[in-house]
Amino acid sequence: MNRTKLLALQIGVAVVALGIWHVFSTIPIGTAANGKPFYLLPQFFFSTPGAVIERVIKMFVSGEVYKHLAITLIEAMLAFAIGALSGVMIGFWFARKPLVAAVFDPYVKMMNALPRVVLAPIFALWFGLGIWSKVWLGVTLVFFIVFFNVYQGVREVSPVVLANARMLGMNERQLLRHVYWPAALSWVFSSLHTSVGFAVVGAVVGEYLGSSAGLGYLIHQAEGVFDVTGVFAGMLILMIFVMLIDFVVTLVEKPLLVWRPGETKTV
């Protein structure tokens, strides 16, 4: 399928979803017991697409959102960088050292099983209400996604390829560069696309639980005064924000994976 047709279908899904939301929130389908119009999606609880988009535009025009965006961006990028880098390094180490992996396996699984929301107050206690409590919360979300993908990617390197590389006289350093790293790179970028959203989630959840700025703070403030339009506006900005970061990851991914065979094209 060509990119233009795919983009048209993606936009079509969004238009249909917004259309359904608009119709159900603005056109009554009957009358309630008190005689008032009955809406399937009452505006008090769901707002309307027009109101949400208008609020987003107003927030950008007034400039009030830029400070909060910058803070959330810094927190998310630090969490993404620290979590991804440590996940790649430790994932490679565990995959190349089976004894180390076997010893630490139960501890890694126990740490991954911890609910991240439980850790948020602990990080706030340890690092205060500044950016670092949000960063480390995001790191815990990003790290395990990248770690498990890299670990699996390195372990799945073909034994035949390894045997041939060793017959050609490659040492461990050359194997790492020319065999293990290319084999794991697809897994790395697959995890990075997923972890981008989790890095932002970690930052926003931390802001939501305790902060004085950021997108999570904006959403929390709107919820506190039952401003549903403000909540949805913050969520929309958040979604656009994540998509832009993911687009940057894709731009970095393409030249690094230029060697990979292209996907089969379908009409």
Cβ atoms 94, 179 nearer than 8 A: no
Across the chain, the runs of DSSP E, i.e. the strands, are 30-31, 37-38
Confidence at 1, pLDDT banded by 50, 70, 90: low
Number of H helices, E strands in the chain: 12, 2
Cβ atoms 83, 202 nearer than 8 A: no
Distances (CA, A) of 42 to 24, 25, 29, 46, 135: 8, 6, 11, 6, 37
Structural domains in the chain, CATH included, are 1-46 (no CATH), 48-256 (1.10.3720.10)
Tell me: pLDDT of 264 over 50: no
Confidence at 255, pLDDT banded by 50, 70, 90: low
Query: How far is 211 from 75, CA to CA, in rounded Å?
Result: 12
pLDDT of the residue at 83: 92
**Sequence-separated (6 or more) residues with CB below 8 Å from residue 147:** 86, 87, 90, 91, 94, 108
Q: What pLDDT digit, counting tens, does each position of 26-70 carry?
A: 888 878 777 788 888 888 888 899 999 999 999 899 888 888 889
Average pLDDT over residues 105-120: 85
DSSP string, 91-135: HHHHHH-HHHHHHHHHHHHHHHHS-HHHHHHHHHHHH-SSHHHHH
Q: What pLDDT digit, counting tens, does each position of 158-184 carry?
A: 677 777 777 777 777 777 777 777 777
Mean pLDDT for the chain overall: 83
116: nearest Cα among 232, 217, 193, 199: 199
User: For the stretch 218-230, what's the b/e string if a residue is b when 16 or more beta carbons lie within 10 angstroms of its beta carbon?
Assistant: bbbebeeeebbbb
Tell me: pLDDT of 263 over 60: no
pLDDT of the residue at 265: 45
Confidence at 17, pLDDT banded by 50, 70, 90: very high
Query: What number of other Cβ atoms are within 10 A of residue 109's Cβ?
Result: 10
**Sequence-separated (6 or more) residues with CB below 8 Å from residue 55:** 229, 230, 232, 233
Distances (CA, A) of 162 to 76, 172, 257, 259: 37, 11, 20, 19
Is this prediction's pTM over 0.85?
Answer: no
Tokens of 61: 């025009």
